[in-house]
Amino acid sequence: VIFETSEVASKAAALEIATLIKKKQDANEMCVLGLATGSTPKRLYAELVRLHREEGLSFKNVITFNLDEYYPMEPDAIHSYVRFMKELLFNHVDIAPENYHIPDGTLAKEDIADYCKEYEAKIDALGGIDLQILGIGGNGHIGFNESGSLPNSKTRLVALDHITRVAASSDFQGLNNTPKTAITLGIKQIMQAKQVLLMAWGEGKSSIIRESVEGPITEKVPASYLQEHPNSIFILDQGSSSQL
């Protein structure tokens, strides 16, 4: 779906989420959301906060699982995704702290594999993700599933691509300070989400959006796997859709 601007697009995405949350409330069910970080979903989160404050949207029945976290990463570090999510969403809505989950960047390396299994098991025990929000990396990564990630890939510790680290390096004041690894939800779990909303803004994303939507389904461009997802929508603005 192509919108005039990212503002309008973000509001439409927020409305879709709010509608699902309310539908689940009416049915007395929990709503399981998969959440993303990066610059792309910032406006979406601002709009969800506005809907909470001004229109009484409650997050009491919402359980969230974030896609990824840098490793290693302290939760209160300036660039941690824990901090990002608290500052942009969780601190401003009525979600219970035990209901949001973000991969733990402080684990000992030998504990990561078990932790990732538990992270997936928690999602599975809830019946899977109802709605997964995604951004997209310049190389087509989703979460931190870089090029080469296979369709059956699990939640795991990954090495970040050079191109991903370069994109993040300005946040970290240079490549030397930029993490080399991250924990990410795998492609398999993302593909099992009942609904996926991938958002992308600006011309800089237009060629990878074209490859993801119109190119072959390939592990080189993990977002291209979504072509086979039965209920995935790319939410684009004029810039990101300009090469379609």
Q: What is the dihedral of CA 158, 188, 30, 198, to 10 degrees?
A: 80
Q: How far is CA 106 from the centre of its chain?
A: 20
Q: How far is the CB of 74 from ligand GLP (least distance, A)?
A: 17
Token representation of residue 16: 């879709």
Question: How many CA atoms lie less than 13 Å away from 121 in the CB half-sphere?
Answer: 6
Tell me phi and psi for residue 8, to 5 degrees: -65, -40
Q: Does 137 bind ligand GLP (CB under 6 A)?
A: yes
Question: How many CA atoms lie less than 13 Å away from 219 in the CB half-sphere?
Answer: 9
33, 51, 123, 136: which one binds ligand GLP (CB under 6 A): 136
Q: How far is the CB of 11 from ligand GLP (least distance, A)?
A: 17
DSSP 29: -
Task: Tell me whether residue 37 or residue 224 sits nearer to ligand GLP (CB atom).
Answer: 37
32 to 71: interface string for ligand GLP, x by CB under 6 A:
----xxxxx--------------------------xx---
Q: How far is CA 194 from the centre of its chain?
A: 14
Task: Tell me whether residue 67 or residue 226 sits nearer to ligand GLP (CB atom).
Answer: 67
Instruction: Check if the beta carbon of residue 13 is closer than 8 Å to that of residue 43.
Output: no
Task: Tell me whether residue 57 or residue 199 sits nearer to ligand GLP (CB atom).
Answer: 199
Q: How many residues bind ligand GLP (CB under 6 A)?
A: 13
Task: Tell me whether residue 38 or residue 151 sits nearer to ligand GLP (CB atom).
Answer: 38
103, 140, 143, 222: which one binds ligand GLP (CB under 6 A): 143
Separation in Å, CA 120 to CA 16, 38, 43, 107, 139: 25, 22, 28, 16, 25
Footprint of ligand GLP on residues 74-133 (CB under 6 A)? Answer: none
Q: What angle do CA 235, 218, 175 make, to 5 degrees?
A: 75
Q: How far is the CB of 182 from ligand GLP (least distance, A)?
A: 7
3, 45, 65, 144: which one binds ligand GLP (CB under 6 A): 144
Residue of 47, 69, 120, 146 marked catalytic: 146
- Does 228 participate in catalysis according to the annotation? no
Footprint of ligand GLP on residues 224-243 (CB under 6 A)? Answer: none
Separation in Å, CA 224 to CA 15, 93, 175: 25, 33, 28
Q: Which position's Cβ is nearest ligand GLP?
A: 135
DSSP 12: H
User: What span, in angstroms and rounded, lies between the C-alpha atoms of 57 and 155?
Assistant: 31
Task: Tell me whether residue 87 or residue 94 sits nearer to ligand GLP (CB atom).
Answer: 87
- Active-site positions? 146
- Which residues contact ligand GLP (rule: CB under 6 A)? 36-40, 67-68, 135-137, 143-144, 164
